[in-house]
Amino acid sequence: MFDLNTLVELLNLNDRVASKEKFNKIVAGRAAFTPSHAAGFLDPAEWVLVIKIPNYEDVLKPLENGVWLIGRIPGSTLNLTNTMISKFHCLLDMQHDGHATIQDLESANGTWLGSQKLAPYKVYEIIPGEEIILPDATILMISKKPG
End-to-end CA distance of the chain: 25
Q: Per residue of the chain (147 residues), give pLDDT as tens.
A: 555 666 666 666 555 556 667 777 887 887 777 766 555 556 666 778 888 888 888 888 887 778 888 999 888 888 888 899 999 899 988 876 777 889 999 999 999 999 999 999 999 988 888 889 999 888 888 877 776
Q: pLDDT of 89-104, one tens digit each?
A: 999 888 767 778 899 9
| DSSP of 64-106 | -SEEEEEESSTT-SEE---TTS-SS-EEEEE-TTS-EEEEE-S
Pair type for strands 112-113 and 139-144 = unpaired
> Cα separation of 59 and 90, whole Å?
19
